[in-house]
Structure 1
Amino acid sequence: MKRALASLCAVAAVTGAVATGCGRGTDTGARQDRPGPLTWQQELRVDDAQQRLTRQCMNRQGFSFWEDRSLTLRESMPVRYVQDDVEWARTYGYGGRIDARQERRRLHHPVVAYRKSLSPARRAAFDRALDGGNGFQVLSAKLPGSGREVRKRLGGCTAEAEKALYGDPGAWFRASKTATGLNALYADDLRHDRRLTAAVAAWSRCLEKAGLSYPDPQAARDAIRENTARLGPAGADRAFATERTTAVADARCARSTSLRSVATARETSYLDRLPDRYGEALDTYRRLQRQAYDRAVRIVPQRA
């Protein structure tokens, strides 16, 4: 699963609230009957299962393939707009060193080196086995609000793994693009929501008591990234010390101001106002996620 930082103008990533609720009118009973969202730990297990299935498929085709489980479960926690785990912040800051390690891993991934070591003919066969080569399927979906169409090519072992988990890769692609793009329909209203902006202002005042001055959590993280880049490798230890200090203060203030619960409640209220067709897409998204997880638990163990 990808670790991400979200800005206030895309608060759907604040708490993962895209998965928390999308109502149809005022039918709260129907909402309660819907499949619940996956936790980030469960999402990670689905990703690991997809890697395992892809590796097994590639092995059957006569190729080596490596899974990436280099992060522990604790290290894999996504850092969203609201991060209120003080102990995690004390250990990892905002996850800057974890991200740097993952970027090095991406650049020097054994699959990349292995592919380069193959002859041109074997390399072409490797690509065909992995994504179908010229025989790939094109999936398409329209994004909420803009109606812009996005496409994805899918074939080979990648398609086989998705089908094993989700059943219908096309339905999964359409549902996931709709569900994860719903924030575009209400992001501006949420950004200016009085209850949320009041909570953010309270967070900022709390941070000032710790000797730090930032208008919102994203500004704090942007400043930390800039400081880390400015100090460079020679100042890495100093940069990380500053990152941890800021992240701990951020998390403490997020807790004391209940910023996460306010953000979740406000976003859920906007999700509940969306038209029926989006509620149906979100239902499909959750159902297929849950199906994939139920299958994933039989494929891979949870990371330690």
Structure 2
Amino acid sequence: MRRALAALCAVAAVTGVVATGCGTGTDDPAAARQDRPRPLTWQQELRIEDAQQRLTARCMERHGFSYAEDRTLTLRESMPVRYVQDDVAWAEAYGYGGRIEARQERRRLHHPVAVYRQGLSPARRAAFDEALDGGDRFQVLSAKLPGSGREVRKRLGGCTAEAEKALYGDPGTWFRVSKTATGLNALYADDLLRDRRLTDAVAAWSRCMEKAGLSYPDPQAARDAVRENTARLGPAGAGRAFATEKATAVADARCARATSLRSVAAARETSYVDRLPSRYGEALDTYRRLQRQAYDRAVRIVPQRA
């Protein structure tokens, strides 16, 4: 159970931390959240990613290089699969997204940008790298992770930096608040792991799956079993493996809906986030504000995927 809920916590930073406010020291956390910027949807976040690629490509073209954008997945195919997946129709079409992941992995191994770069002469390849990442002219960004205080760093330069600045403004501020916002779950993960209402909901999900003829203690165990089955059957049994994946994913999604597992997880996480110190609320507000700013700019750069 702890392993499974740890996976839930990792996902909760997307479905919960970014979707709720942090405590502000008031007696009414719900009231304190009313004026907070709303989080973006995954569709809006994807559009920002596409805009960043478009800006990078334009910049590279100005330097005399080609830069292929990656928009191979449709909007529907791009939906992130969370720990709690309750979209039955998506599961019926894509299972857990195994085939989508495999297609993306094949593209990663033979990415057009990498293939193009490899085909350049050594001198042009060095110039390509400098244009993209800044070469020796780069900025080092730093941020401290919540809880551990561990410092993380990032090098940023060239067209990559230009695109990020165009969307978010100051890269240092964006890096700092994004690392804070997406790492907040480290501050309450242990409490969430032990939360009775959450563990009860996962147990209810497991009982629902048992009735469907599938015995798994939690959603992560179901997905692990599907992955193992797909690997065991190999290419020759890809059809049977995908049929099993879809059947399991559909049952998973139906049981998640029947037990309200997603709403329980989000509600329990909210209760813990509301108790965090106010300084994290300030960082989260800035994170959302910069995300909204980036999205407003992105809609003028690229259309939403079909």
TM over 0.5, shorter chain? yes
Going from structure 1 to structure 2, the CA distance change for 1:148 and 1:46 (only over 3 Å counts) comes to same
* Gapped regions of structure 1 (runs ≥ 5): 1-5
Q: CA deviation at 1:17?
A: 1.1
Q: CA deviation at 1:12?
A: 4.9
Q: CA deviation at 1:28?
A: 3.2
Aligned length in residues: 299
Task: Report 1:116-131 matches (<5 A).
Answer: 116-131=118-133
> Which moves more between the two structures, 54-63 or 225-234?
225-234
Q: CA deviation at 1:23?
A: 2.5
Give 1:56's aligned residue: 58
Question: Which amino acid counterpart does residue 5 of structure 2 have in structure 1?
Answer: L
Question: Which amino acid counterpart does residue 43 of structure 1 have in structure 2?
Answer: E
Contact 1:207 1:249 in 2 (8 A): yes
CA deviations 1:126-173 (Å, max 9, x no partner) are 000000001111101110000111111000000000000000111000
Give 2:169's aligned residue: 167
Cα distance in 2 for partners of 1:150, 1:235 equals 43
> Which moves more between the two structures, 6-15 or 219-228?
6-15
Give 1:8's aligned residue: 5
CA deviations 1:182-224 (Å, max 9, x no partner) are 0011111111100000000000000000000111101111111
Task: Report 1:232-271 matches (<5 A).
Answer: 232-271=234-273
Question: Which amino acid counterpart does residue 11 of structure 2 have in structure 1?
Answer: A
> Which moves more between the two structures, 154-163 or 16-25?
16-25
Contact 1:12 1:267 in 2 (8 A): no
Q: CA deviation at 1:7?
A: 4.8
Going from structure 1 to structure 2, the CA distance change for 1:291 and 1:242 (only over 3 Å counts) comes to same
Going from structure 1 to structure 2, the CA distance change for 1:157 and 1:163 (only over 3 Å counts) comes to same
Going from structure 1 to structure 2, the CA distance change for 1:78 and 1:143 (only over 3 Å counts) comes to same
Give 2:24's aligned residue: 24
Q: CA deviation at 1:235?
A: 1.0
CA deviations 1:223-275 (Å, max 9, x no partner) are 11111111111111111110000000000000000001100100011110000
In structure 2, the residue corresponding to 1:134 is in which secondary structure?
Answer: coil
Task: Report 1:1-304 matches (<5 A).
Answer: 7-9=4-6, 10-14=8-12, 16-21=15-20, 22-25=22-25, 26-304=28-306
Q: TM-score, normalised by structure 1?
A: 0.96
Cα distance in 1 for partners of 2:224, 2:140 equals 37
Going from structure 1 to structure 2, the CA distance change for 1:301 and 1:7 (only over 3 Å counts) comes to farther
Percent identical residues: 82
Contact 1:8 1:81 in 2 (8 A): no
CA deviations 1:60-99 (Å, max 9, x no partner) are 0100000000000000000001000000000000000000
* Gapped regions of structure 2 (runs ≥ 5): none
CA deviations 1:271-304 (Å, max 9, x no partner) are 1000011111111110110100010000000000
Cα distance in 2 for partners of 1:257, 1:27 equals 26
Please report the RMSD computed on the Cα atoms of aligned residues, expressed in angstroms: 1.2
